[in-house]
Structure 1
Amino acid sequence: MKKFINDVDDFLAESLAGFAAAHSDLVVLNNEPVFVRRKALKPGKVALISGGGSGHEPLHSGFVGYGMLDAACPGQIFTSPTPDQMMAAARAVDTGAGVLFIVKNYSGDLMNFEMASEMSEVPNAMVLINDDVAVENSSYTTGRRGVAGAVIVEKLVGSMAESGADLEQCKAFGDRINKRTASMGVAFTSCTVPAAGTLTFKIGDDEIEVGVGIHGEPGRRRAKFAPADAIAGELLTAIAEDLKPAADAELLVLVNGLGGTPLGELYLLFNSTRTWLEQRGLNIGRVQVGALTTSLEMAGASITLCVLDDEMKRHWDSAVHTPGLRWGV
């Protein structure tokens, strides 16, 4: 295992220390318990909190800041954060309008966020992200997994909260976005969790995992390597069958790298995606390409489609200023 590490046990603490120091104009790191919060809180705004196992950076800490999250609770690599982190974060960022928890559908995350929600004295609500169409159940979930669609929900609801919406409105908007969002990924390689020191799964040099989860969970099938157009076509067919977008719909397209895929390949994959959608008369309204929901150093990518409406387009275009996303400011 070759990684920039001093001691495996100190990996997360040292990584977060570097992250907070690099972005000290935007975020503050709390160490006991661990959470990252927005440096400049806005009084009377609904606070958005997300979190999950580390190893998916910039999700979620990288999206703390103006127009997105108010706090993120990082667990150890691929391990859920704990309820005490979530409750402490809620107390730290609540400015009077309550807290909205945005949770990816993984058993540990859901259990701990639900526990925090029940025990917290801060008024709160929850949006559950389950955008992965690859499999209905997995070793980590009951129901569909939450993957890169979380970025879209955090951006859109973050904008709505910034504009002054109340807790009920933010939750309803988040639930609506989730229902209009679908994703699927493919892995070319595995990844290595530092504490384990070995590959999460084994895959042949001529194989791909179609529908892989962001922790390396199995997908729909193990297949032989294929050209980008064919891979994109398989992912998009599954996504479109789930979403069933109307002919006049506008789509937000997110092509997301899993950590070990060069940006040039991601743009090529977007070109394959663009061609596939245009051949079927489907309209692209907005595009985001980059590594936003990763799986350590895994080579591969995911494609996410979100069916937009005018309100969603307005909130996507609004200003955002976080370590991981920035425009309009």
Structure 2
Amino acid sequence: MKKLINAAAEVVPEALRGMAAAHPELRVDVDNRVVVRGDAPVRGKVGLVSGGGSGHEPMHAGFVGPGMLDAACAGEVFTSPVPDQVVAATTAVDGGAGVLHIVKNYTGDVMNFEMAAELVAAESGTEVNAVVVDDDVAVQDSLYTAGRRGVGATVLLEKMAGAAAEQGRPLAGVTEVARTVNARARSMGLALTSCTVPAAGKPTFDLPENEMEVGIGIHGEPGRRRVPVAPAREIAEMLVEPVLGDLDFTGGDGVLAFVNGMGGTPLIELYLMYAEVVGVLEKAGVTVARSLVGSYMTSLEMAGCSVTLVRMDDDLLRLWDAPVRTPALRWGV
């Protein structure tokens, strides 16, 4: 195992210390492993809290800041944050208008965020809503979930719900935006290589050089099938066609098309993939209204990519275009 680390057990706190040094506009609680926007709590504004296992950077801490999340909890690598972390994050961003938890559909995440919401409500009476993201069309159930996994749509949902909160919408309104994005989003991913969790010291799974895993999860969970390595044009069809088959994306105000790198894929390949994805969408009569290309929800150094589509409307387009200022995503400021 070759990694830029000191000790496997210290990867998460040491990375958070580095984030604190690189981004002094954030408050980083290394002990609780919580990252909070510097001006939190913002009075009268709905607070947005997300989190999950580390190893998916910049998800979630990289999306903390004006226009997106108010706080993020970092679990151990590929491990859910514990309830105490979520309680600390929720309390830190409670500006009196309630808090929305954005939770990827993994059993540990869902359970621990639910427990934290109950604890906060009992201690302070703060109203806490939750939206569970479940956009992955690859499998119905997996090693980590009951139902579909939460993957790439989480990034897009956090951005649009964050913009709604920044506008001053009430908790019910921000929650509705998040639920709308989740309902209109579908994703599918693919791995060319495995990744190595520092504590394990070896690849999570074996994937021969001439094979790829279609429908992989962000923790290395198996997907739909293992097939021979194919050209990008064929890979785009493998990823997009199941998404289009699950939800009608034609008509309306077009889609937000997101090609996401899994951590080990260079940007030149992601842009190449995006061109192929657009070609598949054009043939299917789907109009692209907005795009995002890059590695935003990774799986350590796994090579591969995922495709996420969101069916947009006027309101979602305005929310997507609204200013955002975070370490990993910023525009309009």
- State the TM-score, normalized to the length of structure 1: 0.98
Q: Which residues of 2 match residues 107-186 of structure 1 at below 5 A?
A: 107-121=107-121, 122-186=126-190
In 2: Cα distance, 1:212 partner to 1:134 partner: 8
CA deviation map 1:205-233 (0-9, x unaligned): 00000000000000000001011111110
In 1: Cα distance, 2:284 partner to 2:7 partner: 51
Aligned-pair identity in percent equals 53
Larger deviation, residues 244-253 vs 114-123:
244-253
Question: Secondary structure of 1:316's match?
Answer: helix
- Residues 1:12 and 2:12 are matched in the alignment: yes
> What is the letter of the counterpart of residue 110 of structure 1?
V
**Residue aligning to 2:37:** 38
Larger deviation, residues 213-222 vs 115-124:
115-124
**Residue aligning to 1:277:** 281
In 1: Cα distance, 2:253 partner to 2:207 partner: 38
> What is the letter of the counterpart of residue 328 of structure 1?
G
Question: Secondary structure of 2:24's match?
Answer: coil
Deviation at 1:7, TM superposition (A): 1.2
Q: Which residues of 2 match residues 61-80 of structure 1 at below 5 A?
A: 61-80=61-80
Deviation at 1:248, TM superposition (A): 4.3
In 2: Cα distance, 1:61 partner to 1:231 partner: 30
Give the unaligned 5+ runs of structure 2.
none
Give the unaligned 5+ runs of structure 1.
none
Question: Secondary structure of 1:97's match?
Answer: coil
Q: Is the 8 A contact 1:48 1:158 kept in 2?
A: yes
Question: Secondary structure of 1:240's match?
Answer: helix
Q: Is the 8 A contact 2:50 2:103 kept in 1?
A: yes
**Residue aligning to 2:87:** 87
In 2: Cα distance, 1:147 partner to 1:57 partner: 13
**Residue aligning to 2:203:** 199
> What is the letter of the counterpart of residue 167 of structure 1?
L
Question: Secondary structure of 1:120's match?
Answer: helix
Deviation at 1:119, TM superposition (A): 1.4
Deviation at 1:246, TM superposition (A): 2.9
In 2: Cα distance, 1:125 partner to 1:82 partner: 18
**Residue aligning to 1:102:** 102
Deviation at 1:101, TM superposition (A): 0.1
> What is the letter of the counterpart of residue 285 of structure 2?
G
**Residue aligning to 2:58:** 58
Q: Is the 8 A contact 2:44 2:96 kept in 1?
A: yes
- State the TM-score, normalized to the length of structure 2: 0.97
Larger deviation, residues 36-45 vs 316-325:
36-45
CA deviation map 1:227-284 (0-9, x unaligned): 1111110111100111212334401000000000000000000000011111222100
Q: Is the 8 A contact 2:250 2:287 kept in 1?
A: no
Question: Secondary structure of 2:28's match?
Answer: strand
Q: Is the 8 A contact 2:189 2:214 kept in 1?
A: yes
Aligned length: 328
Over the aligned positions, Cα root-mean-square deviation in angstroms equals 0.8
In 2: Cα distance, 1:199 partner to 1:65 partner: 34
Q: Is the 8 A contact 1:248 1:282 kept in 2?
A: no
Q: Is the 8 A contact 1:20 1:29 kept in 2?
A: yes
> What is the letter of the counterpart of residue 172 of structure 1?
E
**Residue aligning to 2:192:** 188
